[in-house]
């Protein structure tokens, strides 16, 4: 099959085909036209050929009958035929066309366009897709102010259906099917306006959920708006003192949204992600309360939705709820509770990407499914991280393949914060969830990165270089989350900081070489996906290393400390400039996404965060010098009454030799000339003289010597 600008693309489907499928089919036609263009007229004589995309749902079709989210895909002559076992299966089959012609899942979300081709060739084939590895696969838009919220407001007027149209498309293009919507200030079931966003999700086949502390399809913000004296829902989020009001609140949520496709969160936590009974309550009291809550919720589900055994339900074993499930030696937990029969138990990572618990034999013997709540973004103690991607793919692979091996296959949800600036790890997470057989079998995540980077249409070498660069960058940031960097993160005395700076130089050299090769139409997408996070992230690391050097050199009175201070000031200016650029590229497409605070957190959040404190050295009058170790924090003026010998104790090896070094630093106003003498023939020094001056206030010397002959004078 050959498609060109003069090919008429016809859609064939039954009158009763679900509307969401038809909408996706039109998106696929637009994908094709992005590549080869259009004849530009509806007149039939503008086309010299035609193809037909025939699609629909047939759950009884051979090879896909009884399967979940599966499709058959046949290309023969001038027709593509797609049959889905269900709505999502058909949608994934349609988006397979986009995949095989080279359209990125980020085409709508990030504006990442495919390169133009005069002709698209699609080979004849018959293909049957696999069932997705994980039943419910999706992400959680969270911690969405000020970035995502600002973007929503500027572009769509709020968290409404117009905005979620783009989120749903992204999710489905990544073969996901499940979403926790933004909830800090938003109410998905009200902001559509009304149910418009929820009904749109259902039309597209997107299964909606609510977060770990929002039961029965009602959002936390809803209760805040509806509560009060005289409210039918009462004025206390308390199932003991306000059981009638809370029960009615849940009942109305189930009555409103229960007819749509959902995974219903059950259980109860306190308002705004807190413990329901507070820190002073005992384990037994909390467990008894939750049993009462679960019984009430199951009866409400039975009344307003259907038999609980047939309704997808989920209990998040998150934070304080986890011990309520397991109990202890004296208190029986919720494990084995009849009210949890058939409920998906959502296990969690430690909020930083490392799994806390996995199903054991006793849990697997119960009638439960298992899910995992994972984090690429986190707002909470002990530290928050909400800015750019700082998650390394090898960690994601290790943790999620382990979860899958232990039977966590029913639900995967990942917190992506503002969504933008976390697209890369999200794509990987979703591909793992859809096809664990393929991607779980490849521990070398650089293979995936090369595939992902290939969407930028670079040659093979540049694609590989870009993948290695990005992998190195994420490992650099994964050392400590960017928001919590300070001058202690990299040791300047043992070579660690120097190694990090060398890595940064290499990372940026690769980016500098590749960025000009990106086509203009994709420059904005490349900036948001790659350039901004890499440049801004490495700037932040370098700034804090400069802060460490500034403080150290200031502590010994070296005037080079001031040079590092100037670099810190410039880094803070550059950080703001990069945000402004992110907000203006692509006509303001990403405006708002750079607003997350990310410098100098002192606590778990950004309260009281501060830029680096800069030390300034006022040089003494005349000639003054300090000599110090490159590795080690020892320094001396070398004067008779204050000086002491420097002992070199740490070395690095190269080519069978050992290396170490020292520096000379100007501390006064006047130039100083000096020489370096060595009376050991097995030792050489790269520079045996130098002149320190205000224009050259720091000079480093490298010592080379044979192992075990380390005497220097």
Which helix or strand (DSSP H or E) is residue 577 part of? helix 560-588
Rounded CA gap, 646 and 710, in Å? 13
Does residue 610 form part of some domain?
Answer: no
Report pLDDT digits (tens) over 217-249.
999 899 999 999 999 999 999 999 999 999 999
Report pLDDT digits (tens) over 325-342.
999 999 999 999 999 999
* 3-class secondary-structure state, position 253: helix
The CATH number given to whatever domain includes residue 63 is 3.30.379.10
pLDDT at 622: 96
Give me the residues paired with residue 626 across strands. 665
Please say whether the beta carbons of 557 and 499 come within 8 A: no
Q: In terms of domains, do 201 and 328 share one?
A: yes
Judged against a pLDDT cut of 90, whether residue 172 lies above it is answered with yes
The CATH number given to whatever domain includes residue 543 is 1.20.58.2150
Question: What does DSSP say about strands 683-685 and 264-265: parallel, antiparallel, or unpaired?
Answer: unpaired
Does residue 600 form part of some domain?
Answer: no
Q: Residue 431: which of 454, 453, 405, 412 has the closest Cα?
A: 412
Helix, strand, coil share (%) of the chain residues, nearest 5: 40, 20, 45
Percentage of the chain beyond pLDDT 90 is 88
pLDDT at 681: 80
pLDDT at 712: 38
pLDDT at 42: 63
Report pLDDT digits (tens) over 543-577.
999 999 999 999 999 999 999 999 999 999 999 99
Phi-psi bin for 158: left (phi > 0), alpha (psi -120 to 50), beta?
Answer: left
Last-in-domain residue among 97, 128, 159: 128
For residue 709, what pLDDT band results from cuts at 50, 70 and 90?
Answer: very low
Q: In terms of domains, do 413 and 270 share one?
A: yes
Question: Residue 541: which domain range?
Answer: 455-588
Helix intervals (H) in 445-531: 445-453, 460-478, 496-514, 523-526
Judged against a pLDDT cut of 70, whether residue 188 lies above it is answered with yes
For residue 166, what pLDDT band results from cuts at 50, 70 and 90?
Answer: very high
For residue 282, what pLDDT band results from cuts at 50, 70 and 90?
Answer: confident
Tokens of 344: 């998906």
Cα dihedral 35→39→44→47 (10° resolution): -60
pLDDT at 711: 43
Q: In terms of domains, do 427 and 473 share one?
A: no
Last-in-domain residue among 442, 465, 496: 442
696 φ/ψ angles, rounded to the nearest 5 degrees: -140, 80
Does residue 712 form part of some domain?
Answer: no
CB atoms closer than 10 angstroms to residue 657: 13
Q: In terms of domains, do 182 and 117 share one?
A: no
For residue 275, what pLDDT band results from cuts at 50, 70 and 90?
Answer: confident
CB atoms closer than 10 angstroms to residue 465: 19
Q: In terms of domains, do 98 and 176 share one?
A: no
In this prediction, residues 132-158 reach a mean pLDDT of 97
Where are the strands (E) in 335-395, listed by range?
344-348, 369-375
Please say whether the beta carbons of 374 and 429 come within 8 A: yes
Does residue 603 form part of some domain?
Answer: no
Phi-psi bin for 99: left (phi > 0), alpha (psi -120 to 50), beta?
Answer: alpha
How far are the Cα atoms of 176, 236, 244, 249, 352 from residue 241, in angstroms, in the given order?
Answer: 40, 8, 9, 14, 36
Does residue 616 form part of some domain?
Answer: no
Please say whether the beta carbons of 149 and 109 come within 8 A: no
Q: In terms of domains, do 515 and 539 share one?
A: yes
Rounded CA gap, 346 and 314, in Å? 7
Q: Residue 173: which of 121, 112, 116 has the closest Cα?
A: 112
Does residue 608 form part of some domain?
Answer: no
Q: In terms of domains, do 400 and 548 share one?
A: no
Does residue 613 form part of some domain?
Answer: no
For residue 695, what pLDDT band results from cuts at 50, 70 and 90?
Answer: very high
Q: In terms of domains, do 226 and 349 share one?
A: yes
Of 41-45, 216-220, 307-311, the least confident? 41-45
Q: Is 20 exposed, middle or buried (0-12, 13-18, 19+ CB in 10 A)?
A: buried
For residue 118, what pLDDT band results from cuts at 50, 70 and 90?
Answer: very high
The CATH number given to whatever domain includes residue 259 is 3.20.20.520
Average pLDDT of the chain? Answer: 94
Q: In terms of domains, do 544 and 648 share one?
A: no
Sign of CA pseudo-dihedral 506, 511, 512, 517: positive
Tokens of 124: 């004849």
Judged against a pLDDT cut of 70, whether residue 632 lies above it is answered with yes
Q: Residue 583: which of 595, 575, 573 has the closest Cα?
A: 595
Q: In terms of domains, do 98 and 168 share one?
A: no
Chain centre distance of CA 562: 37
In this prediction, residues 266-287 reach a mean pLDDT of 84
Q: In terms of domains, do 353 and 412 share one?
A: yes
In this prediction, residues 445-459 reach a mean pLDDT of 96
Does residue 609 form part of some domain?
Answer: no
In this prediction, residues 576-590 reach a mean pLDDT of 98
Q: In terms of domains, do 409 and 475 share one?
A: no
Last-in-domain residue among 537, 567, 588: 588
Q: How many domains does the chain have?
A: 4
């Amino acid at each position: 099959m050959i498609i060109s600008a003069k090919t008429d693309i016809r859609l064939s489907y039954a009158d009763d085909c679900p509307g969401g499928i038809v909408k996706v089919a039109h998106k696929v036609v637009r994908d094709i036209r992005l590549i080869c263009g259009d004849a530009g007229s509806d007149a039939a004589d503008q086309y010299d050929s035609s193809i037909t995309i025939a699609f629909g749902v047939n759950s009884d079709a051979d090879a896909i009958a009884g399967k979940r989210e599966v499709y058959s895909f046949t290309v023969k002559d001038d027709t593509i035929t797609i049959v889905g076992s269900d709505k999502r299966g058909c949608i994934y089959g349609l988006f397979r066309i986009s995949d095989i012609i080279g359209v990125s899942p980020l085409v709508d979300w990030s504006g990442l366009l495919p390169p133009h081709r005069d002709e698209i060739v699609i080979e004849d084939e018959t293909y049957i897709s696999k069932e997705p590895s994980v039943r419910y696969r999706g992400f959680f838009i969270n911690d969405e102010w000020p970035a995502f919220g600002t973007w929503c407001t500027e572009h769509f007027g709020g968290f409404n259906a117009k905005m979620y149209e783009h989120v749903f498309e992204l999710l489905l293009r990544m073969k996901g099917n499940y979403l926790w919507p933004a909830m800090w200030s938003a109410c998905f079931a009200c902001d559509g306006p009304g149910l418009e966003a929820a009904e749109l999700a259902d039309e597209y086949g997107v299964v909606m959920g609510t977060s770990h502390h929002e039961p029965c399809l009602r959002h936390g913000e809803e209760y805040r708006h509806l509560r009060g004296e005289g409210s039918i829902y009462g004025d206390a989020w308390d199932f003991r003192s306000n059981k009638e009001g809370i029960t009615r609140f849940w009942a109305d949520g189930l009555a409103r949204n229960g007819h749509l496709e959902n995974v219903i969160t059950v259980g109860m936590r306190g308002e705004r992600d807190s413990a329901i009974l507070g820190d002073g309550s005992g384990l037994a009291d909390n467990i008894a309360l939750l049993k009462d809550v679960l019984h009430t919720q199951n009866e409400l589900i039975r009344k307003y939705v259907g038999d609980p055994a047939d309704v997808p339900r989920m209990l998040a074993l998150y934070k304080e709820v986890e011990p309520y499930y397991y109990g202890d030696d004296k208190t029986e937990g919720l494990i084995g509770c009849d009210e949890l029969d058939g409920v998906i138990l959502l296990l969690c990572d430690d909020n930083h990407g490392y799994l806390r618990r996995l199903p054991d034999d006793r849990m697997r013997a119960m009638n439960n499914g298992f899910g995992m709540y994972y984090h690429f973004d986190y707002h909470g103690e002990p530290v928050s991280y909400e800015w750019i991607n700082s998650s390394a793919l090898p960690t994601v692979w290790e943790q999620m393949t382990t979860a899958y091996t232990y039977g966590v296959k029913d639900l995967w949800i990942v917190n992506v914060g503002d969504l933008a600036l976390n697209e890369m790890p999200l794509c990987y997470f979703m591909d793992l969830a859809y096809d664990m057989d393929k991607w779980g079998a490849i521990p070398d995540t650089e293979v995936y990165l090369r595939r992902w980077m290939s969407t930028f249409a670079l040659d093979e070498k540049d694609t590989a270089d870009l993948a290695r660069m990005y992998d190195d960058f994420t490992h650099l940031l994964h050392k400590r989350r960017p928001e919590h960097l300070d001058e202690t993160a990299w040791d300047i005395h043992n070579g660690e900081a120097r190694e990090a700076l060398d890595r940064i130089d290499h990372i940026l050299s690769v980016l500098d070489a590749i960025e000009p090769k990106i086509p203009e139409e994709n420059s904005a997408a490349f900036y948001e996906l790659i350039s901004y996070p890499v440049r801004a992230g490495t700037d932040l690391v370098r700034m804090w290393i400069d802060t460490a050097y500034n403080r150290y050199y200031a502590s010994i009175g070296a005037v080079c400390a001031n040079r590092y201070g100037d670099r810190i000031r410039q880094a803070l200016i550059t950080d703001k400039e990069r945000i402004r650029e992110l907000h203006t590229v692509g006509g303001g497409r990403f405006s708002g996404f750079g607003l997350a605070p990310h410098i100098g957190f002192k606590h778990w959040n950004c309260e009281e965060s501060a830029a680096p404190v800069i030390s300034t050295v006022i040089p003494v009058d005349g000639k003054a010098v300090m000599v110090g170790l490159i590795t080690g924090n020892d320094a001396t003026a070398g004067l008779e009454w204050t000086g002491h010998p420097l002992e070199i104790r740490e070395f690095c090896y190269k080519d069978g030799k050992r290396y170490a070094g020292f520096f000379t630093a100007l501390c006064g106003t006047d130039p100083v000339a000096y020489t370096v003498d060595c009376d050991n023939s097995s030792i050489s020094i790269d520079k045996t003289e130098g002149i320190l001056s205000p224009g050259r206030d720091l000079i480093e010397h490298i010592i080379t010597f044979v192992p075990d002959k380390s005497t220097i004078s």
